[in-house]
């Protein structure tokens, strides 16, 4: 029994490959019907915009790996040659550690992001609903969710903004303390503006005003956030009525000039106003920074904030790795305890079968033994077997919970020929990282 993960992500595959192997919500149930069964005893499919990963419990490594790869190819109608070079394959403790890193946001495009933890939970619950999760993956995913929660509560891995749009909102918080009830004007309706508006609404901004050269696009973005679209020509008029301005138009010239900002400040009785200029070239005259009550930041300011915050998250990531190592050890001890039971049972059974066979052979050569003598021989041989096995079995249990537990289990199995098991060296040749 082995845990494997087969997947690709933003580091190993371009988006045109990732999108061909992604799983939509409406196809997840037939996907489990096609994957679960045969060599794949348990499975969970984790599919996001940045990754597609299949976590599986397999009886035989090679057969299980082949089943997963064939499933990806047949289910999506994609030739294996189109994606196989982008795959990473991990097993055992590496697979357990990988899922922990995913749940904590260490393997994310944005270090320490919290969204992935919810996605891991949703993927796990979907697999449970489809009947694809058994004892091993149930414990593995509960373990990973616990690791993710510990990482975010015990370290600062998810603190400090590391995206430009979110950094803008964090700076606005510092200016106003609270964004509850504040009015924000978004100038331009591109992707960066949309992301910033989303973060502002989540932070509690009361109203979003959208101005864009294209009225349809302004109306569309404003509707998305229950906001209000205004004509591009009225931007200056709205400066006196909003608290936050995010500008990202791509215009070749300044659209908010010094004189207009000075007049707006008088109209608002010099109440503070927070301006974020994400545009290149800049939309806001940098001289407005000299006006009392104006807090102006441009894209370079935001990038420097993001870089400093990212360095802080990277320092926190070391603490997260320690949590993952600790929790992985706990999970592996549990998993090894599952594996050691059948090994002990097999060893006892093999010893007992040999004892019975040899005792019977001796009885056949000594037909005149009394019933009492036979019972004495039976008891004596049973005692010898039990005494011989006692120390080795205690050691097997002890070693199984160590860092090399799997190696000891495999060694005992090979030494006593307790069953056909795959060569670990062959497994290692197939596994890759990413």
Residue 6 backbone phi and psi in degrees, to 5: -120, 125
Q: How far apart are CA 379 and CA 310, in angstroms?
A: 70
Check if the beta carbon of residue 161 is closer than 8 Å to that of residue 167. Answer: yes
Q: How far apart are CA 378 and CA 19, in angstroms?
A: 67
List C-alpha distances in Å: 159 to 151, 194, 197, 306. 11, 22, 20, 11
Q: Which residue has the tokens 């919970």?
A: 401
Signed CA dihedral, 284, 289, 290, 295: sign only: positive
What residues form DSSP beta bridges with 8? 52
Q: How far apart are CA 190 and CA 244, in angstroms?
A: 17
Helix (H, G, I), strand (E, B) or coil at 305: helix
Terminal Cα distance for the chain, rounded: 23
Q: CA-CA-CA-CA torsion for 188, 189, 192, 198, nearest 10 degrees?
A: 120
Q: How far apart are CA 88 and CA 4, in angstroms?
A: 10
Q: Strand 183-187 relative to strand 244-247: parallel, antiparallel, unpaired? A: parallel
Q: How far apart are CA 32 and CA 54, in angstroms?
A: 11
Q: How far apart are CA 128 and CA 59, in angstroms?
A: 20
Closest CA to 282 of 301, 263, 260: 301
Q: Which residue has the tokens 């926190």?
A: 316
Signed CA dihedral, 26, 31, 36, 37: sign only: positive
Closest CA to 244 of 276, 217, 219: 276
Dig out the tokens for 359 from the structure: 């005792």
| Residues classed as catalytic | 49
Check if the beta carbon of residue 98 is closer than 8 Å to that of residue 142. Answer: no
Check if the beta carbon of residue 239 is closer than 8 Å to that of residue 260. Answer: yes
């Amino acid at each position: 029994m082995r845990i494997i993960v087969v997947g690709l992500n933003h580091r190993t595959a371009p988006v045109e490959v990732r999108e061909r192997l992604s799983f939509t919500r409406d196809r997840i149930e037939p996907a489990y019907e096609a994957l679960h069964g045969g060599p794949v005893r348990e499975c969970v499919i984790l599919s996001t915009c940045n990754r597609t990963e299949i976590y599986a419990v397999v009886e035989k490594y090679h057969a299980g790996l082949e089943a997963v790869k064939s499933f990806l190819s047949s289910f999506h109608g994609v030739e294996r040659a189109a994606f196989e070079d982008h795959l990473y394959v991990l097993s055992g403790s590496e697979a357990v550690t990988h899922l922990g890193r995913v749940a904590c946001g260490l393997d994310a495009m944005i270090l320490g992001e919290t969204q992935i933890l919810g996605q891991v939970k949703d993927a796990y619950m979907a697999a449970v609903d489809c009947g694809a999760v058994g004892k091993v993956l149930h414990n593995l995913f509960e373990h990973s969710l616990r690791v993710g929660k510990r990482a975010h509560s015990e370290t600062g891995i998810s603190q400090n903004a590391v995206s430009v749009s979110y950094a803008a909102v964090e700076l606005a918080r510092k200016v106003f303390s609270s964004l509850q009830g504040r009015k924000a004007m978004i100038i331009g309706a591109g992707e960066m503006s949309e992301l910033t508006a989303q973060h502002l609404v989540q932070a509690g901004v009361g109203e979003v005003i959208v101005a864009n050269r294209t009225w349809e696009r302004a109306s569309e973005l404003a509707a998305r956030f229950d906001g209000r679209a205004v004509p591009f020509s009225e931007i200056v008029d709205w400066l006196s009525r909003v608290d936050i301005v995010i500008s990202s138009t791509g215009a070749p010239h300044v659209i908010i000039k010094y004189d207009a900002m000075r007049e707006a400040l008088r109209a608002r009785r010099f109440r503070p106003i927070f301006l974020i200029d994400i545009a290149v070239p800049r939309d806001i005259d940098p001289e407005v920074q000299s006006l009392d009550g104006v807090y102006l930041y441009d894209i370079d300011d935001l990038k420097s904030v993001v870089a400093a915050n990212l360095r802080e998250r990277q320092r926190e990531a070391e603490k997260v790795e320690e949590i993952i190592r600790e929790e992985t050890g706990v999970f592996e001890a549990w998993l090894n305890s599952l594996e050691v039971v059948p090994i002990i049972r097999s060893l006892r059974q093999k010893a007992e079968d040999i004892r019975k066979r040899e005792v019977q052979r001796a009885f056949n050569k000594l037909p005149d033994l009394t019933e009492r003598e036979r019972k004495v021989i039976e008891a004596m041989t049973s005692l010898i077997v039990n005494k011989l096995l006692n120390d080795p079995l205690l050691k097997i249990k002890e070693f199984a919970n160590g860092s090399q537990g799997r190696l000891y289990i495999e060694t005992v199995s090979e030494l006593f020929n307790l069953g056909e098991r795959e060569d670990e060296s062959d497994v290692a040749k197939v596994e890759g990282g990413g």
